[in-house]
Structure 1
Amino acid sequence: MTYLQLSAWFLGAAVVIAIGLGLLARGRRPHPGAVALTVLVMLTLTAVFDTIMIASELFHYAGPQLLGVHIGLAPVEDFAYPLAGALLLPALWAALRARRGTPRTAPSDQEAGA
């Protein structure tokens, strides 16, 4: 299995899960602009820090399993994981907030027995 195939399966699963979680969120979905900004920041950080780590020889990739497209020194396949995280985490957060329901308020005088 190539890195591209592994990344595609991982990213595909993340998208399916994020969509499923979005359906559970019941109107409390993440703001698309915030998700887009998060994706942009995560991809930029991945490009910078992967390039630094690869340049300092902390790790390397086997050549034949790579697509051959790089951003800096980072192979394009490496960007699937931060993209998946940037899609999954806001969807999970929104689903958990929706599951919690409406915030509790102080009981009214009638409920308190006054």
Structure 2
Amino acid sequence: MSYWALNTVFLLAALGAGTAAALTPKGRARTAALAAAGGTAAVVLVLTAVFDNLMIAAGLFTYAPDMISGAMVGLAPLEDFAYPVAAVLLLPALWILLGRASKARPPRRRP
């Protein structure tokens, strides 16, 4: 199984959650989460590029050449960027979706 085949599972799940969150009614939490996700994506992708290249250059890990696409950002294969993209999609989506669910039920009173 190639890295892209494995990444597809995570990216589809994250994309599904992100789509569901983007389709929720507008609100402050949704707007803030989506704006933060855009800024976070830029930062996380730059950090991934820098530190993945450093770790690969230091010999901490390697990739099987027949498992990667061959598209590279420095020494890092493009597949390395799928997990940060999935995280940037999934975490704000869960924040929006779970926050909306918690507002739907009344708060529990303590005795």
TM over 0.5, yes or no?
A: yes
Residues 87-98 of structure 1 correspond to what in structure 2 (within 5 A)?
87-98=89-100
For residue 14 of structure 2, what is the aligned residue in structure 1? 14
The 3 A distance-change label for structure 1 pair 89 and 62 is: same
Matched with 1:2 is 2
Per residue, is there more helix in 1 or in 2? 2
The CA deviation at 1:63 is 0.4
CA contact (8 A) 1:17 1:88 kept: yes
Query: TM-score with structure 1 length normalisation?
Result: 0.77
Q: Which runs of 5+ in 1 are unaligned?
A: 105-114
Letter in 2 for 1:73: L
Q: For 2:99 and 2:23, locate their aligned partners in 1 and report how far apart those are by CA, in whole Å.
A: 10
Structure 2: runs of 5+ lacking an equivalent: 107-111
Q: Mean alpha-carbon deviation: is it higher for 84-93 or for 8-17?
A: 8-17
SS in 1 for 2:59: coil
TM normalised by structure 2 equals: 0.79
Task: Please state if 1:46 is matched with 2:63.
Answer: no
Deviation per CA, 1:15-46, whole angstroms, max 9, x where unpaired? 112323x1785434244332211111111111
User: How many Å separate the matches in 2 of 1:77 and 1:24?
Assistant: 28
Q: 3-state DSSP class of the match of 1:27?
A: coil
Aligned partner of 2:43: which letter?
Answer: V
> Equivalent residue for 2:26?
27
The percent identity for this pair of structures is 45
- Give me the whole-angstrom Cα distance separating, in 1, the residues matched to 2:31 and 2:51: 27
Q: Which deviates more, 10-19 or 67-76?
A: 10-19
Partner of residue 72, structure 1: 74
- Structure with larger Rg: 1
Contact 2:18–2:93, Cα closer than 8 Å, also in 1 = yes
- How many residue pairs align between the two structures? 102
